[in-house]
Amino acid sequence: MLAVKFLKKRGYKILQRNYRRRNGEIDIVCYDHGTIAFVEVKTRYSDKYGPPELSVTEAKKRQIIKVALQYIAEKKIEDRNLRFDVVSIFYPPDKKHPTITLFKNAFAKSDLAAYLDFPEYKGDLESVLSRAKEADVGCIINVGTSLASSKKSIALANRFDNIYASIGIHPHDSSKVSEQDWQTLESLVKEPKVIAIGETGLDYYRNRSPHEDQQHIFRKHLTLAKSHNLPVIIHCREASNDCLTILHEYKNTVIKGVIHCFSGTKETAEKCIELGLYISFAGPITFSNANNLREIAKTVPVERLLLETDCPFLSPQPKRGERNEPSYLSFIIPILADVYGLSVQDIKRITTFNAYKLFGIGEPEQEGKVAYAIRNSLYINLTNRCSNVCTFCMRETYPIVKGHHLGLKKEPTAEEVIHAIGDPGGYDEAVFCGYGEPTERLDVLIAVARFLKSKGKRIRLDTNGHGDLINGRPIINELKGLIDTMCISLNADTAEKYEEICKPVFGEKAYPALIQFIKSAKRAIPNVQVSIVEMPGIDTEKCKKIAQELGVDFRIRKYNVLG
């Protein structure tokens, strides 16, 4: 069986094939680095239905979960660290030379705002959580809205491993808070599973408490969060100006948090991002009449995006009007993927990492990725070294790209890179990029490119254009026939500006060599593009004119947006 051979080559220990029980069948049960992996094999003879992770139905996933639970009960497995993987086998029309792709841990996400202690879940909470697990919802934050509900949130978190508690008093009840209530709330912070302060903030839509009382209690929450270094979950409805004014009072005290269930303007979103806050969208982002909200979402960097249901409220389409629940994240994620021009898997991975970064819940992203996917492109990370120290680059301080951790502990050999790639058949292109300059390792680059070419892959090289200086010789001819597209960072219209922005180790030699490299690439590489970062001090029009004179395409990259 192709899938079994494929998994064995990647270090999986096969435990059982075709495990059948009354609820259905699991194709392969295997063991991988401390995790029991249940593998669904998808064999396709046409790719018209899109990536295989989207072709696994919710019904099929529920069936697999049921059979998986039967397996661990039958085998008396105590370690329930489980994962659902998908192996896609795609046969071309001639039914020869299939391409095989592994989608590891294909379904995982976190719900940052749920209210599972509310009476709407009385009687069937276990079923709600079971459906959440079947829909691959990982961590859930149950949000406190009063002293009583904060205590219930803690009790719920203590009962279920994947539920965490936030404690706070909703702005609606600000005028009802006694000093004794507040002291009791403060004492709850010490509970081990309390990971955030809130729900707090301002609500001028309902006006159930005077504005002065809301503002007073909001400040007390922020002070409490600051003193315990906890993030805040902020409610802001028709109160953006006052909310931002109060947050600005704390801007120098490292207040971290999220504006939950965002419903404000583009300008408000931008100001929240400037303050270092995250933004989350709930069910309304899926509504047919929410085009404006989706446009606003586009202005929020995906690195500041979080997921939530706000259940039991605000159910997404097509469940609008029903009681909401965590499993309904599955309806929100595809909409956000479309908004950001990313894959569903990208949104899951990025928001999971964001939740870990803000709240400390879930698992940290694996460090040192050599091969990684964004959209349907395969990226290859050869080195963290670079001959530039660009002012806009976070390579040395925060090597994260679209939820992937690219900080390498050691540079991989060509063989290790090829092993990490596996079968590249399911990708549109392979991109040498990473968080370093690929031509620093020219021999490895060429060896891996030859492997990819043997598999019929289109190859793109993202480079700073210093390849000739780095290697002490012209290198374009060595890349001819291997690289289909080359994207070269121009970044400035003069040598002086380039040295100021990019701080090249080659000093004044760098910019003239960069221009010569572009000219050489134009003669040998089918598609050549130069780019700049959109930031103050860079003359876009002059850079565009340079690109036109060199006869290459021109692209503007958004500041601090990678991948």
Range scoring the smallest mean pLDDT among 115-124, 528-537, 548-557: 115-124
11 and 134 share a domain? no
Residue 153 has pLDDT above 60, yes or no: yes
| Model confidence pLDDT, tens digit, residues 503-520 | 999 999 999 999 999 999
* pLDDT, mean of residues 251-256: 80
Alpha-carbon gap, residue 530 to 488, rounded angstroms? 5
N- to C-terminal Cα separation, the chain: 35
E strands, 392-475, in order: 400-401, 404-405, 429-432, 459-463
Q: Token pair 């003239």 is at which residue?
A: 512
pLDDT value of position 167: 98
Q: At what angle do helices 240-249 and 211-228 cross, to 10 degrees?
A: 40
Q: Which residues pair with residue 105 across a beta bridge?
A: none
| Model confidence pLDDT, tens digit, residues 297-335 | 999 999 999 999 999 999 999 899 999 999 999 999 999
Largest pairwise CA distance in the chain: 77
CATH number at residue 77: 3.40.1350.10
Q: Which CA distances in Å does 174 have to 64, 145, 214, 228, 313?
A: 46, 10, 5, 21, 21
Q: How confident is the model at residue 133 (pLDDT cuts 50, 70, 90)?
A: confident
Q: How confident is the model at residue 92 (pLDDT cuts 50, 70, 90)?
A: low
Asked whether the beta carbons of 206 and 172 are under 8 A apart, the reply is: yes
In a 3-state reduction of DSSP, which class is residue 200? strand
| pTM exceeds 0.85, yes or no | no
Neighbours of 549 (CB within 10 A): 9
Asked whether the beta carbons of 28 and 102 are under 8 A apart, the reply is: no
| Model confidence pLDDT, tens digit, residues 73-82 | 777 765 545 6
Q: Is residue 364 part of a domain?
A: no
Range scoring the smallest mean pLDDT among 44-48, 236-240, 529-533: 44-48
Which DSSP helix (H) or strand (E) runs through 106? none
Asked whether the beta carbons of 162 and 107 are under 8 A apart, the reply is: no
285 and 381 share a domain? no
Q: Over the chain, what is the mean pLDDT?
A: 88
Q: At what angle do helices 540-550 and 510-524 cross, to 10 degrees?
A: 40
Q: Is residue 563 part of a domain?
A: no
pLDDT value of position 460: 98
436 and 470 share a domain? yes
Q: How confident is the model at residue 53 (pLDDT cuts 50, 70, 90)?
A: very low
Residue 49 has pLDDT above 50, yes or no: no
In a 3-state reduction of DSSP, which class is residue 173? helix
End residue of a domain, out of 48, 81, 103: 103
Q: Token pair 């009962």 is at which residue?
A: 159
Is residue 451 packed enough to be buried (19+ CB in 10 Å), middle (13-18) or exposed (0-12)? middle
CATH number at residue 408: 3.20.20.70
CATH number at residue 174: 3.20.20.140
377 and 393 share a domain? yes
Q: Is residue 72 part of a domain?
A: yes
Domain of residue 36 covers: 2-103
Asked whether the beta carbons of 516 and 510 are under 8 A apart, the reply is: no
Strands 82-90 and 137-143 turn out to be unpaired
Q: Which CA distances in Å does 408 have to 25, 367, 394, 445?
A: 39, 7, 14, 16
Alpha-carbon gap, residue 462 to 562, rounded angstroms? 12
Q: Which CA distances in Å does 309 have to 34, 115, 132, 284, 397?
A: 31, 9, 12, 10, 33
378 and 355 share a domain? no
132 and 64 share a domain? no
78 and 215 share a domain? no
Q: Is residue 492 part of a domain?
A: yes
pLDDT value of position 397: 80
pLDDT value of position 134: 85
Q: Is residue 526 part of a domain?
A: yes
Alpha-carbon gap, residue 40 to 52, rounded angstroms? 11
Q: Is residue 59 part of a domain?
A: yes
End residue of a domain, out of 52, 75, 103: 103
End residue of a domain, out of 80, 103, 126: 103
326 and 462 share a domain? no
Q: Is residue 366 part of a domain?
A: no
115 and 82 share a domain? no
| Model confidence pLDDT, tens digit, residues 337-359 | 999 999 998 999 999 999 999 99
* pLDDT, mean of residues 31-59: 58
Instruction: Provide the domain count of the chain.
Output: 3
86 and 189 share a domain? no
Alpha-carbon gap, residue 178 to 176, rounded angstroms? 6
Which DSSP helix (H) or strand (E) runs through 89? strand 82-90
Alpha-carbon gap, residue 302 to 403, rounded angstroms? 10
pLDDT value of position 147: 96
Asked whether the beta carbons of 166 and 233 are under 8 A apart, the reply is: yes
In a 3-state reduction of DSSP, which class is residue 474? coil
In a 3-state reduction of DSSP, which class is residue 41? strand
Q: Is residue 82 part of a domain?
A: yes
User: DSSP letter string over 129-160?
Assistant: HHHHHHTTEEEEEEEP-SHHHHHHHHHHHHH-
Asked whether the beta carbons of 468 and 513 are under 8 A apart, the reply is: yes
346 and 399 share a domain? no
429 and 459 share a domain? yes
